[in-house]
């Protein structure tokens, strides 16, 4: 379910009987890329790794690279689950028994109503609660200036040294931070910051977008690091609110935020360090 929406994946963890294993599933759910992250990943792959390939070969190559990224996310899920089982969530693995329930004719109306109220409206409501204030923050940062510099530029400059260590730049890292309400706005925030515009923009032509990124210092290391960090970073606001509701714990919500974030930083740092050794 996390491939569609990580928040829906968290709700789906209710079917796990063991509280310990349910927590492990919630914490590692974010290693599965959701619909909000797929456009960013696909765009980066198309711009920097497919290159001049066209036709069927281009599609096959893009699909192969994206599948490799997804497999990496699954591997990280298994690795982090093993580490959690050996450390903060030790316990005896539960047995799995599959019992076939008595067959009942599905009630289509009831299924639709419960799906709308339990999942769709629940997730959308929490998205609106955070998205509206966050949108105002982004607009203010892009339009308020100190001297001749916007708050957006000042913050990206402050983050730049750390971001360089993990293969990105301050604009990319700030875009991920401001994209906390929804991963879909990460790339528009990057474009807005690079073009020094006061509003979110979207460039539909990937060749134009690639030229913009390359002119602002993007290399293949930047592209891979951004791809890895997109796969492994903090859950979005809706997912965090859902984890808080499901666990009734600020502690486990914080752990669910910290584990993928720390993993993403470490993986990006190791990749960047090794890649730069061979340049």
CA distance 188 to 143: 16
| pLDDT, position 251 | 93
Residue 108 lies in a domain: no
* CA angle at 261 for the pair 259 and 265, rounded to the nearest 5°: 120
Reported as type and span, the H/E element at residue 150 is strand 149-150
Residue 111 lies in a domain: no
Residue 193 lies in a domain: yes
The 10s digit of each residue's pLDDT in 78-120 is: 999 999 998 888 876 666 666 677 777 777 777 777 666 666 6
Residue 275 binned pLDDT confidence (cut-offs 50, 70, 90) = very high
Reported as type and span, the H/E element at residue 145 is strand 145-146
Full DSSP string of 213-267: HHHTT--HHHHHHHHHHHHSSPPPHHHHHHHHHHH--HHHHHHHHHHHHHHHHHH
Q: Which domain holds residue 179?
A: 6-90+128-277
Residue 105 lies in a domain: no
Predicted TM-score of the model (pTM): 0.83
| pLDDT, position 172 | 93
Residues 6+ apart with CB under 8 A from 45: 62, 65, 66, 69, 227
Residue 59 lies in a domain: yes
The 10s digit of each residue's pLDDT in 145-172 is: 887 788 888 899 999 999 999 999 999 9
Say whether 146 sits in a helix, a strand or coil. strand
69 has pLDDT over 60: yes
| pLDDT, position 241 | 87
* H helical segments located in 87-185: 108-115, 121-143, 151-165, 170-178
Residue 237 lies in a domain: yes
Say whether 172 sits in a helix, a strand or coil. helix
The 10s digit of each residue's pLDDT in 196-252 is: 776 666 677 788 888 889 999 999 999 999 999 999 999 988 899 889 999 999 999
The dihedral through the CA atoms of 50, 230, 188, 224 has a sign that is negative
**For the chain, what percentages of helix, strand and coil (3-state, to nearest 5) are there?**
70, 0, 25
Residue 272 lies in a domain: yes
CB neighbours of residue 199 within 10 Å: 10
CA distance 226 to 222: 6
Q: How far is CA 240 from CA 33, 37, 95, 116, 223, in A?
A: 15, 16, 29, 20, 27
Residue 118 lies in a domain: no
78 token code pair:
């298994």
Q: To the nearest whole percent, how much of the chain has pLDDT over 70?
A: 86
Domain count, the chain: 1
* 23-32, 51-60, 81-90, 180-189: least confidently modelled range: 51-60
CA nearest neighbour of 32 among 66, 13, 4: 4
| pLDDT, position 202 | 67
Evaluate whether 80 touches 261 at the Cβ level (below 8 Å). Answer: no
* CA angle at 137 for the pair 134 and 139, rounded to the nearest 5°: 110
């Amino acid at each position: 379910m996390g491939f569609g929406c990580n928040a829906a994946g968290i709700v789906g963890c209710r079917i796990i009987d063991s509280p310990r294993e349910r927590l492990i599933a919630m914490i590692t759910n974010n290693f599965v890329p959701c619909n909000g992250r797929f456009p960013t990943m696909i765009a980066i792959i198309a711009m920097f790794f497919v290159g001049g390939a066209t036709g069927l070969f281009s599609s096959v190559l893009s699909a192969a690279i994206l599948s490799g990224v997804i497999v990496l996310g699954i591997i990280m899920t298994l690795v982090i689950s093993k580490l959690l089982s050996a450390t903060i969530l030790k316990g005896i693995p539960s047995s799995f028994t599959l019992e076939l329930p008595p067959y009942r004719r599905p009630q289509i109306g009831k299924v639709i109503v419960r799906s709308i109220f339990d999942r769709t409206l629940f997730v959308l409501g929490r998205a609106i609660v955070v998205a509206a204030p966050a949108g105002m923050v982004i607009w203010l940062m892009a339009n308020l200036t100190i001297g001749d510099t916007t708050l957006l530029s000042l913050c990206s400059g402050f983050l730049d040294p750390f971001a360089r260590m993990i293969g990105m730049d301050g604009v990319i890292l700030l875009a991920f931070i401001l994209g906390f309400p929804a991963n879909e706005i990460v790339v528009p925030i990057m474009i807005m910051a690079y073009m020094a515009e006061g509003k979110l923009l979207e460039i539909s032509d990937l060749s134009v977008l690639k030229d913009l990124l390359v002119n602002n210092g993007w290399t293949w290391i930047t592209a891979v690091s951004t791809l890895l960090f997109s796969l492994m970073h903090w859950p979005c606001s809706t997912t965090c609110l859902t984890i808080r509701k499901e666990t009734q714990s600020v502690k486990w919500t914080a752990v669910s935020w910290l584990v993928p974030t720390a993993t993403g930083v470490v993986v990006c740092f190791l990749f960047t360090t090794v890649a730069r050794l061979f340049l």
